[in-house]
Amino acid sequence: MIVRSCNARLVALRSFLKFAARRDVTALQIVEQALGVSMKRFERLMFRFLTREEMLAVIGARQEQIG
């Protein structure tokens, strides 16, 4: 999760730097250097479906809460 939050901050910083580059052309070289920082890679979790037993347990727990 740490890598994802770092990437989210990096995306926000990149957006700001692109804005700043449009506003102040003299800072373009510094902005281009900062935009060269690469995003961190992370493994995406595999999505899996619930087993039949897990699905029945969820449905049963929900019915107990209602009834």
Q: Residue 22: is its pLDDT beyond 80?
A: yes
Tell which residue, 36, 33, 31, 38, has the closest CA to residue 17: 31
Residue entry with tokens 């029945």: 56
Give me the chain's average pLDDT, please: 79
**Which DSSP string corresponds to the chain?**
-HHHHHHHHHHHHHHHHHHHHHH-GGGHHHHHHHHTPPPPP-PPPPP-PPPHHHHHHHHHHHHHHH-
Give the per-residue pLDDT at 1.
53
Mean pLDDT of the 46-67 span: 81
Has residue 2 got a pLDDT over 60?
yes
- Percent of the chain at pLDDT above 70? 82
Confidence of residue 13 (pLDDT cuts 50, 70, 90): confident
pTM above 0.85, yes or no: no
